[in-house]
Amino acid sequence: MRRAVFPGSFDPITLGHFDIINRALPLFDEIIVAIGVNADKKYMFSLEERQRFIEDSFVDEPKVKVITYEGLTIELCAQMDAQFILRGLRNPADFEFEKAIAHTNRKLSEIETVFLLTAASTSYISSSIVRDVLRNGGDYTVLVPDAVRVK
């Protein structure tokens, strides 16, 4: 079974994340969307909300599983018997950052990282931009899947 872990904070999931997961579905038998827990980071959305946003976004897709985790992603991959880490790239800065992590992960384990370029239509979207739009009362709904609705 070809299993990939797609790690991130997903605070919140964006249309860019949604696009990467959907485009990766034909490549893998299972995609584990892994929400990392970092006690030092302040999140806008609770862990439960972030998990629900993703689960609701992929409610009709049995190949997508959503979990939470702490620690190294490569350790999670070993626990989940995942052979791949899935990452999206928006720009050259993402590439340089992700390349360093991928090389480190490969040095520490046998894991392969698969990069997908974001679609041009979503390459400008980041969770931090979504949070900024939300904080300032803007229309964030054009940046996130329908499941992400704030009351």
Active site residue ranges: 17, 41, 90, 127
Cα–Cα distance, 58 to 80 (Å, whole number): 20
> Scanning the structure block, which residue is given the tokens 């052979």?
83
Q: Are 105 and 90 in contact (CB under 8 A)?
A: no
User: Residue 133, SS3?
Assistant: helix
Sheet holding 30-36, edge to edge: 64-69, 30-36, 3-8, 84-89, 112-117
